[in-house]
């Protein structure tokens, strides 16, 4: 493993290299924009999930 990145960082770098190789080494703007949008959706979903779980936990503790 690379010391600069963890296990998941290495996976993302390998995935990015494979995608670049499949596209002839060129990354156009649409592809980069699609990656950014998907990443933002995943982050927003994770934050929403955490807020819902936190709200449920706080509701359970208030009902006692």
Does a structural domain hold residue 27? yes
Domain encompassing residue 57: 7-62
H/E stretch holding 48 reads: helix 29-62
Does a structural domain hold residue 17? yes
Query: How far from 54 is each of 42, 46, 58, 64, CA to CA, in Å?
Result: 18, 12, 6, 16
- Give the pLDDT of residue 64: 67
Does a structural domain hold residue 1? no
SS3 label, residue 23? coil
- Give the pLDDT of residue 43: 97
Count of domains in the chain? 1
For residues 10 and 1, is the Cβ–Cβ distance under 8 A?
yes
CA gap 27, 44 in Å, rounded: 25
pLDDT digits (tens, 9 = 90+) for 5-60: 556 778 878 877 777 776 666 667 787 788 889 999 999 999 999 999 999 999 98
SS3 label, residue 26? coil
Joined tokens for residue 26: 């060129």
């Amino acid at each position: 493993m690379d010391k600069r990145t963890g296990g998941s960082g290495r996976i993302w770098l390998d995935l990015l290299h494979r995608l670049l190789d499949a596209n002839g080494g060129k990354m156009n703007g649409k592809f980069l924009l699609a990656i950014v949008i998907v990443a933002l959706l995943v982050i927003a979903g994770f934050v929403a999930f955490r807020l819902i779980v936190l709200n449920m936990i706080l509701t359970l503790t208030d009902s006692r």
